[in-house]
Amino acid sequence: MDKEHRTHTPPEGQGDGTRRGRRHESRESNRRVQDELRKERAESEWEEKIIQVRRVTKVVKGGKKLSFRAVVAVGNGKGQVGIGIGKASEVIMAIQKGVSDARKSMISVPLIGSTLPHEIIGKQGSSRVLLKPAAKGTGVIAGGASRAILELAGVGDVLSKSLGSRSPLNVARATVNGLAELRTFDQAARLRGITVRQMLGTTN
């Protein structure tokens, strides 16, 4: 006698259909998060730039734990800029944490027109960044992390040179350190307890 052909039907809630459904739901949730981020960026005056995204590994008792580290810069192009770091198991969450961290560490940059008031060297670890004022129309002569920070701060004309280590995080922090140490003529005169005319050596 011929054996009966039996077809196995997976029980409800199992099989390829549910797997595809779960994948579809995860993709939809990621799209929703990305859409929300885009809306927030469009409504807010703050602009964000991702300087670096790296996959990092932490050795734990059960093996290795993979996560992502995002270095993000936030600024409004009007003299305020900040840098932050975010770590998470997903890239989007790491970027969100980096943005919130950058907004907590904002600095104000004194500008004279579209350039810096004076020359300065920013330092962070073994990285050093030289920042020099430039004539109008020069543009932002910088690269990598320094360029992102300077553009978000609203600097339109500047000359810069990276000295020492070229790690993106250290270069970005050195640039922020240099911008934070800038002083205008009024601020320098106040710190010395004299007037601007006395500091410049003019009597008229």
Domain harbouring 92, CATH code: 3.30.160.20
| Residues 179 and 109: beta-carbon distance below 8 Å | yes
Residue 5 domain-assigned (yes or no): no
- The verdict on 114 and 97 lying in the same domain is no
With a cut of 80, say whether residue 23 has pLDDT above it: no
Of 104, 126, 150, the residue at which a domain comes to its end is 104
Residue finishing a domain among 77, 104, 131 = 104
164-203 confidence digits (pLDDT tens): 899 999 999 999 999 999 988 787 788 788 877 776 776 4
pTM of the model: 0.72
- Tell which residue, 160, 81, 158, 179, has the closest CA to residue 115: 158
Residue 55 within any structural domain of the chain? yes
Q: 88 with 125, same domain?
A: no
Question: Which domain does 80 fall in, by range?
Answer: 18-35+43-104
Give the model's pLDDT for residue 40.
Answer: 57
pLDDT above 70 covers a percentage of the chain that reads: 77
What's the number of domains the chain is made of?
2
